[in-house]
Copies of this chain bind each other. A is one copy, B any other.
């Protein structure tokens, strides 16, 4: 069988993603990551260094995937509901990302890949501000906070799964429930961000 170092690397990182998302940086063990990947633990250290570096590497990858999958709408955010809906879809399909972000936030250290991410968010804020100037979005709210909140609309469900269960009593994995949540996210984003319409 041929050497497949890229495959080895990929399998390790996939396993690390699952484990980190599930158990967090503290609760995850390097041994279990290696076992899940079916690869010797020693490979982890050769490829990724220590646990912290591995976590950052995992998070960076997942953020890149999100950015690639959920492109901002070309029409200047006037369809902000759908944009929020698509962000929600991504998080629903990839719940690991939200969890990784929450672990990172709770850990409290400096964010991984901070420079790139900051630039990415600043671009988003500028797009929101531009849409406000065009009248596509309400100028009643600060664009940075608005962008922050739209992200929250999509991710908050994963941040407090206990609350959703206690509040609604419904299974988050039920397809109907997911559809309802998505519709809510879309409408909430519209109510928040669109200029008031005539009643």
How many A residues face the partner with a CB closer than 8 A? Answer: 57
**How near does chain B come to A83, taking the closest CB pair, in angstroms?**
16
Q: In whole angstroms, what is the CA distance A197 to B117 when docked? A: 38
Q: In whole angstroms, what is the CA distance A104 to B191 when docked? A: 31
User: Given A196-B197, A199-B197, are A144 and B167 also a contact pair (CB < 8 Å)?
Assistant: yes
Complex contacts, A161 vs chain B, CB 8 Å:
105, 108
CB-CB contacts below 8 Å: A1-60 with B: 22, 24, 26-27
Taking the complex as formed, is A118 at the interface, i.e. its CB lies under 8 A from any CB of chain B?
yes
Contact with B along A100-122 (1 / 0, CB 8 A): 01111110100100100110011
Q: In whole angstroms, what is the CA distance A187 to B187 when docked? A: 17
Establish whether residues B27 and A162, one from each chain, have CB atoms under 8 Å apart when the complex forms: no
Complex contacts, A149 vs chain B, CB 8 Å:
153, 156, 188
Complex contacts, A93 vs chain B, CB 8 Å:
none
CB-CB contacts below 8 Å: A160-196 with B: 160-169, 180-181, 184, 187-188, 191-192, 195-196
Contact with B along A133-169 (1 / 0, CB 8 A): 0000010111011011101110110011111111111
Query: Chain A residues in contact with chain B, CB under 8 A?
Result: 22, 24, 26-27, 99, 101-106, 108, 111, 114, 117-118, 121-122, 124-125, 138, 140-142, 144-145, 147-149, 151-153, 155-156, 159-169, 180-181, 184, 187-188, 191-192, 195-199
